[in-house]
Amino acid sequence: MDGDRSDRAPLLDLREVDETQVSVVGGKAAHLGALSRIDGIRVPAGFCVTTAAFRRIMAQTPSIDDRLDQLSHLSPDDREAISTLSAEIRRSVEETPIPGDLAAAITGALARFGERAAYAVRSSATAEDTPTASFAGQQDTYLNVVGPEAILRHVSRCWASLFTERAVIYRLRNGIDHRTVQMAVVVQQMVFPDASGILFTADPVTGNRKVATVDASFGLGEALVSGLVNPDVFTVRDGEVVASTVAAKERAVAALPEGGTREVAIDPQRQEQPALTQAQALRLVRIGRRIEAHFGRPQDIEWCLVDDDFQIVQSRPITTLFPIPAADDQENHVYLSVGHQQMMTDAMRPLGLSMWQLTAMAPMLAAGGRLFVDATRLLASPASRAGFLKMAGRDDPLMRDALETLLDRRDFVPTLPDQAGRGGPTTGGPSTSGEADPAIVPQLIERSEASIAALRRNIATVTGTALFDFLHEAFQEHKRVLSDPLNMQAIMAGMEATWWLNDRLHEWLGDKNAADTLTLSAPGNVTSEMGLALLDVADVIRPYPEVVAFLQDVAHDDFLDDLPKVTGGAEARAAIEAYLDRYGMRCVGEIDITRPRWSERPGTLVPVLLDNIKLFEPGAARRRFEQGRQKARQQAQEVLTRLRALPDGQQKADEAARMIDRVRAFIGYREYPKYDIISRYFVYKQALLAEAERLVGAGVLTETEDVFYLTFQEFHEVVRSHRVDDELIRQRRDAFRSHQALTPPRVLTSDGEAITGSYRRDDVPAGALAGVPVSSGTVEGRARVILDMAQADLEAGDILVTAHTDPSWTPLFVGIAGLVTEVGGLMTHGAVIAREYGLPAVVSVLDATRLIRNGQRIRVHGSDGYVEILP
């Protein structure tokens, strides 16, 4: 149809529209129009009052621009102001008269069905029912509206419902401009169903795309949506009802002859009868699969059953499902979350995803803004499976349990001949570290520093398409350094010595997690040194009250320019800049190259620096390191003395002494390869941003950060062609926003099923939160739930509770008494640093940041792996 005409038309028949016209008719109407065009899908007839009509009304609404300006400046947490202002806007919209020609067009359209026919009048916003946003329930729907005057009144109410309190808060929280969302209104012939309900074409709980669920109740669907009744539930897989529950349905919502609806009691003899037969449920799912195929993604479908005939009254994407990595076959696949291994489960932008894929040591797949590895072949081969599960269990017991849950079904992962898994990671066999010489550690660090210096030197003069060719070669050097057998030997030597000490000293002496104390203040750990170094910066600043006062008022990242204007400021700036020279490439979520580094946003460090000034005395870094070293030495002497008293004690003591020496020689290096990676990433980023700035100067890009929404390969093509797809960047921004709201699963199947895993333990007290013990000791204190390091405000004795910690969180560790995270394992960064600092720590505590409230008193059992929430 004529796109120009439809943009201006105040009314369009539903059969005239489809999903390409969301800006004209809103999401709901666009989907209904598309549904009406699918052969065999019945949709109640009706029309849409378009966004052109809405814009006319808004232009005539008094003071609307001023009120929208006020609304946009409110915080989403300012509920009272939002409630007051949104109510004023709704009242003004509802009181604005509908122009005569528009009212005549609406009443004329009603004449097709008879003036006294009943209608559903339904809001259809332009940001509603899209793949990346769910506005379900935020705007209004009115059922069984009878008569032209009532229809016109309810159309105005639908327009006004764009400004319900819940809709306004949703837009504020998601950064959506109130002016960019417009409201159309669907007017549809009313359906009076025998039964109605919701069909999910994928399991909304597990995410399994092969499982559909049908919720059904008698009468209008409002009874189910409002929670008035428990529905019958049918679970369907592969054309078969695999489970069904029939509920007692005591109430229903029925239409009144004069208009409106009311609750009615259901005849006791019907209450426990199913609202649908199994044959009807299967037929409905077949309809749902056709709708899903048309829209290309799982759907949440509202349906009505009238005289054994299904009518579809709404279909929207299920936005809560985690996307599935793309596969080029129809085989079953098991995907493991990379973010849970890297301690960064946040969504990444496309440039960040593609850069990590290009520099990683294993093939990785992107989905939902996260990266996954395909573990199917390792799990399918009996030879590699046991070792792989053992390694997974050491890193993350929840991931191992999720994998075992899947394997126990015996119908998803095929069993392949042993050679199919050859070459995969295994543990439990001969040591991969051999008798690594501690002298290789300084050699490896020297090689890394020389390689990074060469990278900085050689990239400085390369621009344009030549930069991308250069980077492809740099990525190969990046991977060569990481895959150096000596590098792997040094990493594994420290890890294997830790495992050996924990296992043997528990067996021989009954000590739990003995390596925790033995690794206190291990030398050469670049991450723990980073935390202590910020204490030294605090020592420089502490004697200057004017500098402290200046830092307390820092609001911008250019504060270093003004710092020398106060007494002591020059010394303070020199100390901060020296710190940034060494560690400024780090940041929270540092595996994503698009995240701002400390050198780019030094204000991030100011709250931590102020905490260090407040909580510590001068010389704290040196004292703390020495205290840890002495404690580790005393523990080693005590362990060896106790071992010598055992049968074969001297042999046991000699073996333990050798392993203690090994763990202290190598465990610090565990953190260095990540430092190498992130150092290279900062060099790459600076070169890529310089290229983006040239594109902005040439008018190709609007802003430099547009390139964050392109893959590395797409960025290369933009530099080559000097052309960019602005719509693609906009879509990628929207997708990233939606990905941020998703929680990535540890294990995801190619069916879309997210498997979380659970702790199967009987040693955790009732009410306590189970996790992985990674650093010994018990500590009690105030929980500080911190999701953004820049918002840290710690007091002595606080326990940090957060989702995940990568090395950038280390400066906070010096000021806390304990650590609780939702993600992590024995050898992830937070665990290693917690042990070196002597902090009791429990990681991999499911939903810790939700179950523990900020300010609550908690007790962390770092040896036994659980957290108690205290009265």
**What's the pLDDT tens digit per position in 38-86?**
988 999 999 999 999 999 999 999 888 899 889 888 888 889 999 999 9
pLDDT of residue 472: 96
Tokens for 149? 């005057």
Quote the CA–CA distance of 314 and 123 in Å, as a whole number: 12
Q: Which residue has the tokens 């910020």?
A: 534
Pairing type for strands 799-802 and 778-785 reads: parallel
Q: Write the DSSP string, 579-634.
A: HHHHHTT--TTTTSTTSPPTTT-GGGGHHHHHHHHHH--TTHHHHHHHHHHHHHHH
Query: Are 697 and 644 found together in one domain?
Result: no
Q: Is residue 398 part of a domain?
A: no
At 423, the pLDDT band (50, 70, 90 cuts) reads: very low
Q: Is residue 424 part of a domain?
A: no
Task: Give the domain-ending residue among 146, 167, 190.
Answer: 190
Burial category of 556 from C-beta neighbours within 10 Å (exposed 0-12, middle 13-18, buried 19 and up): exposed
The whole-number average pLDDT for the span 239-262 is 80
The whole-number average pLDDT for the span 698-710 is 97
Query: Are 616 and 682 found together in one domain?
Result: no
Q: At 507, is the secondary structure helix, strand, or coil?
A: helix
Quote the CA–CA distance of 155 and 140 in Å, as a whole number: 10
Half-sphere exposure of 221 (CA within 13 A, CB side): 24
pLDDT of residue 97: 94
Query: Are 658 and 718 found together in one domain?
Result: no
Give bridge partners of residue 802 from the DSSP assignment.
821
The whole-number average pLDDT for the span 97-126 is 90
Q: Is residue 301 part of a domain?
A: yes
Cα 787 from chain centroid (whole Å): 12
Query: Are 685 and 733 found together in one domain?
Result: yes
- Is the pLDDT at 19 greater than 90? The verdict is no
Give the Å distances, CA to CA, from 54 to 354, 678, 751: 42, 51, 42
In tens, the pLDDT along 804-859 reads 998 889 999 999 999 999 998 888 888 889 998 999 999 999 999 999 999 999 99
Mean pLDDT of the chain: 91
Instruction: Taking each helix axis as running N to C, give the angle between helix 649-666 and helix 485-509, from 0 to 180 degrees, rounded to the nearest 10.
Output: 140
In tens, the pLDDT along 734-775 reads 999 999 989 999 999 999 999 989 998 889 999 999 999 999
pLDDT of residue 577: 98
Judged by average pLDDT, the poorest of 261-270, 571-580, 702-711, 803-812 is: 261-270
Q: Is residue 604 part of a domain?
A: yes
Query: Are 616 and 533 found together in one domain?
Result: yes
Q: Is residue 377 part of a domain?
A: no
pLDDT of residue 416: 79
Task: Give the domain-ending residue among 273, 291, 321.
Answer: 321
Query: Are 519 and 553 found together in one domain?
Result: yes
Task: Give the domain-ending residue among 306, 321, 336.
Answer: 321
Query: Are 532 and 547 found together in one domain?
Result: yes
- Is the pLDDT at 614 greater than 90? The verdict is yes
At 701, the pLDDT band (50, 70, 90 cuts) reads: very high
- Is the pLDDT at 225 greater than 50? The verdict is yes
Three state DSSP letters for 666-731: HHHHHHHHHHHHHHHHHHHHHHHHHHHHHHHHCCCCCCHHHHHHCCHHHHHHHHHHCCCCHHHHHH
- Domain of residue 117 covers 1-190
Quote the CA–CA distance of 371 and 114 in Å, as a whole number: 56
Quote the CA–CA distance of 130 and 134 in Å, as a whole number: 7
75: nearest Cα among 179, 171, 180: 171
List all residues 6 or more positions away from 261 whose beta carbon is below 8 Å from its beta carbon.
143, 144, 220, 222, 253, 254, 255
In tens, the pLDDT along 584-606 reads 999 999 999 999 999 999 999 99
- 732 sits in which H/E element: helix 726-740
Q: Is residue 349 part of a domain?
A: no
Q: What order of strands is seen across the sheet that includes strand 799-802?
A: 769-770, 866-869, 857-861, 778-785, 799-802, 818-821, 841-843, 772-775
Pairing type for strands 841-843 and 818-821 reads: parallel
Query: Are 565 and 636 found together in one domain?
Result: yes
- Is the pLDDT at 420 greater than 50? The verdict is no
Quote the CA–CA distance of 816 and 151 in Å, as a whole number: 62
List all residues 6 or more positions away from 266 whose beta carbon is below 8 Å from its beta carbon.
218, 249, 250, 251, 252
Question: First and final CA of the chain: distance in angstroms?
Answer: 66
CB atoms within 10 A of CB 761: 11
Domain containing 818 — which CATH number?
A: 3.50.30.10
Q: Is residue 133 part of a domain?
A: yes
CB atoms within 10 A of CB 286: 14
In tens, the pLDDT along 174-206 reads 778 888 889 999 999 988 888 999 999 999 999
Query: Are 180 and 198 found together in one domain?
Result: no
Domain containing 283 — which CATH number?
A: 3.30.470.20
Percent over 70 (pLDDT), the chain: 94
Domain tally for the chain?
5
Query: Are 557 and 667 found together in one domain?
Result: yes
Please identify every residue annotated as catalytic. Answer: 829
Domain containing 145 — which CATH number?
A: 3.30.1490.20
Query: Are 209 and 142 found together in one domain?
Result: no
Q: Is residue 335 part of a domain?
A: no
Pairing type for strands 818-821 and 799-802 reads: parallel
The answer to whether residues 465 and 691 touch, using CB atoms and an 8 Å cutoff, is no
At 131, the pLDDT band (50, 70, 90 cuts) reads: low
List all residues 6 or more positions away from 471 whose beta carbon is below 8 Å from its beta carbon.
459, 684, 687, 712
Judged by average pLDDT, the poorest of 4-18, 95-109, 219-233, 619-633 is: 219-233
CB atoms within 10 A of CB 2: 8
The answer to whether residues 470 and 462 touch, using CB atoms and an 8 Å cutoff, is yes
Query: Are 762 and 737 found together in one domain?
Result: no
- 641 sits in which H/E element: helix 620-644
